Amino acid sequence: MKTKKLIRTFHRYLSIFVSIQLLLWTISGIYFAYNKIELVRGEQYRLPVDVEYRIFDRLGVSIIEKNDNGDKTYETYPDGAKVEPLTKDEALLIASKKTSLNPIDGILINETYKGAEFRGRDLPIFKVQTDTEDNINIYINPLTGDISAIRSDSWRLWDLFWALHIMDYQDRDNINNLLLKILSILALMTSISGIVLFFIKK
């Protein structure tokens, strides 16, 4: 009987310790769910920029990027010729030059889809496959030659758990979705009721 009572006491105090941490996780989760990260970052205070320029090298060719408040155009520098998108071979060459990976094939993607691993990147975009065990894909901007993203099986597993964590099973990046807001409130009620029950005497 003493052992049974000791286990129950241990379980009771362990439960209150875990419940307090769950309460803190829940409160912080509610804050994240009800506050847009763009507003937290202060994006609403940025004024529109008239025009910005960037000069960079793409496979030995100097290119100037003109960014007119998000509308980007590209010309060769200094002659001002039109910049043609990368070919598949050029995309593979850039992948081999800018990473330690071995590219084996590439495809130009023009349409996105729910939960795409390149989501948030401008289209079109080159998907370059590599010969790795982790199924690594390199995503390359066809105009700038910039590497937009590198995705692997490790990242895909992380992305799956992230989707489960924020309860956005399609887009996988909306931390302000309604389901998360509702469940976070229910979790808060559960945590608080559990703590209250701990202190209630029989």
Q: Is 95 found in the same domain as 62? A: no
Q: Is 62 found in the same domain as 74? A: yes
Q: For 175, list phi and psi in degrees, rounded to 5.
A: -85, -5
Report pLDDT for 30.
83
Q: Is 120 found in the same domain as 80? A: no
Residues 167, 183: Cα–Cα separation, whole Å: 9
Question: How many domains is the chain partitioned into structurally?
Answer: 3
Radius of gyration of the chain (CA): 25
Residue 129: count of CB within 10 angstroms of its CB? 17
Q: Is 97 found in the same domain as 77? A: no
pLDDT digits (tens, 9 = 90+) for 63-95: 999 998 878 999 999 988 999 999 999 999 999
SS3 136: coil
What is the domain range of residue 24?
2-42+178-199
Q: Is 101 found in the same domain as 146? A: yes
Q: Nearest-CA neighbor of 97 among 82, 111, 86?
A: 86
pLDDT digits (tens, 9 = 90+) for 153-184: 999 999 988 888 888 888 887 778 888 888 88
DSSP 108-130: EE----TT-TTTTS-SSEEEEEE
